[in-house]
Amino acid sequence: MTAEIEERLTAAGRRWRAVQPAPPSVDSSRFPARTGVRGKRRGRWAPLAAAAAVAVLVTGVGVSRLVDRAPTPPLTDGPAAAYDPLALIGMWRLTGVEGESGGVLRLSDWKLVLFRPCGTLSGSWRAATDGLFVGSVHLISPECARPSPSDDWTPAWLRDVTAFRIDGKVPELLDADGEPAARLLPGGEPAALHLSPDETAPPIVTDRARTQALPAAPLPPYLVPASRDALVGRWVADEQDGHPTRPFVELTADGRLQGSDGCNGSSGRWVAGPDGALLATEGPTTLMACSNQHLARWVSQARRAGLDGEELVLLDANAVELGRLHRG
């Protein structure tokens, strides 16, 4: 009887396929040279793109800037070098920060160490050529007072920083209003702590840092730039069979990023800018074996975020899709 069922299924499938229309032909004109454009949707967004282009020509302001508050001055305000992330790599004396007297900030290739008289705060940072900056602290040495584990360990002044600019040779870290939250003066020397010379030596610009500091490719035209407000919330990937806990990432309005791949939790911070620009850090995570998607890592690797209908599409620096998320 099982063999008979197999025959019935095979025959039914054959009959079904026999009445199916031919598949559509491939229209390679829908594949633009750099990244894909959804053929069917290209027309849908074409008027918007045209309107944006007209707005730029007439007013000099991109449409996305009108709806997405820019945390940093546009590039046209100064030379490109004013937003060179590599120029931030160094050992800096922190000034203009209340409660950080004597603090020294070491920014190496995306690792951050804040030397305080009591000890060190370690974390990560990212910056981009559009002036965005984000930093977070994930580890505090035992000698320094630690907040509770559920709190954000990033100091309040660093949580406020969403952008940077370099005024002459002095980098400034800016808050969302464009006001300086900290000034970085060259020549910082950490207090005499029991650290290895590698941890206290002035950092160098590595090839990895150079690669990651390259400007991100623009958002593909089939995506609508995701504004900061649009990004806030809890996001999930498609259903994954067999996993008891659904992976998620949550972007909160105060700039925190929290996520889980279903087995391992992680946290960090995020900032967003015009034209779908996105920067995020990700802290250390546990390493339990888990085949789930690590959504927080998608966010921390992303340089652009766009909306395709209800879906959030994360793209890397080359505008290649890292993943798609829905609200959940």
Partner 1 sequence: MASTGAPNDPDDFGVWVQPFLGPIAHLAGRLAPCADRDDIVQEVLVRAWVKRQLYDPARGMPSTWLLAITADLAAKARRRVRWHAPLPDVPDPVTGQVDEDIDLARAMTRLSRRQRLAVECVYFAALSIADTAAVMDCAEGTVKSTLADARAKLRTLLEAKDDC
* Segment interacting with partner 1, rule: CB under 8 A, options 23-31, 48-56, 143-151, 253-261: 23-31
Stretch touching partner 1 by CB under 8 A, among 96-104, 119-127, 260-268, 318-326: 318-326
Between CA 288 and CA 2 the distance in angstroms is: 42
Per CB under 8 A, which of residues 138..197 are in contact with partner 1?
Answer: none
Does position 13 interact with partner 1 (CB under 8 A)? The reply is: yes
Token digits of residue 291: 């085949």
The distance of closest approach from Cβ of residue 173 to partner 1 in the complex, given in angstroms and rounded to an integer, is 31
Residue spans of beta strands (DSSP E) within 62-161:
90-95, 104-107, 111-116, 119-127, 133-140
Q: Which residue, 35 or 281, is less far from partner 1 as judged by CB?
A: 35
Instruction: Name which of 22 and 145 has its Cβ closer to partner 1.
Output: 22
* Part in contact with partner 1 (CB under 8 A); list of ranges 6-14, 169-177, 196-204, 248-256: 6-14
In the complex with partner 1, which residue's Cβ is closer, 19 or 192? 19
What residues are paired with 248 via a beta bridge?
A: 236, 260
Query: By CB under 8 A, which span of 11-19, 102-110, 202-210, 298-306 interacts with partner 1?
Result: 11-19
Residue whose tokens read 């995570």: 285
User: From the CB of 315, what's the least distance to partner 1, in Å?
Assistant: 9
| Residue 207-246 contact track with partner 1, rule CB under 8 A, x = bound | -------------x-----------------xx-x-----
Residue type, 14: R
Cite the DSSP H helix spans in 156-285.
156-160, 197-200, 207-212, 228-231
Q: Least distance from C-beta 323 to partner 1, angstroms?
A: 10
Considering the rule CB under 8 A, would residue 29 count as an interface residue with partner 1? yes
Cα separation, 110 vs 124, whole angstroms? 5
- Assess contact for 86 and 107: CB atoms under 8 A: no
Closer CB to partner 1, residue 29 or residue 196?
Answer: 29
Our CA angle for 58, 277, 217, nearest 5°, is 85
Does 38 interact with partner 1 (rule: CB under 8 A)? yes
Q: How near is the Cβ of 59 to partner 1 at its closest, in Å?
A: 31
SS3 233: strand
Rounded to the nearest whole angstrom, what is the least distance from the CB of residue 36 to partner 1 in the complex? Answer: 3
- Please state, in angstroms and rounded to a whole number, the distance separating the CA atoms of residues 285 and 267: 8
Find the shortest distance in angstroms from Cβ 86 to partner 1.
22
**Long-range pairs for 233-241: beta carbons < 8 A, 24 or more residues apart:** 233/327, 234/327, 234/328, 235/295, 235/312, 235/325, 235/326, 235/327, 235/328, 236/295, 236/325, 236/326, 236/327, 236/328, 237/293, 237/295, 237/323, 237/324, 237/325, 237/326, 238/324, 238/326, 240/292, 240/293
Q: Which residue, 289, 291, 248, 252, is CA-closest to 266?
A: 248
Contact stretch for partner 1 (CB under 8 A) within 26-34, 55-63, 203-211, 251-259: 26-34
Nearest-10 Cα torsion for 10, 14, 20, 22? 110
Q: Does 19 bind partner 1 (CB under 8 A)?
A: yes
CB of 15 to partner 1, least distance (A): 4
Given the rule CB under 8 A, which residues bind partner 1?
Answer: 1-2, 4-6, 8-10, 12-13, 15-20, 23-33, 35-40, 220, 238-239, 241, 316, 318, 320-321
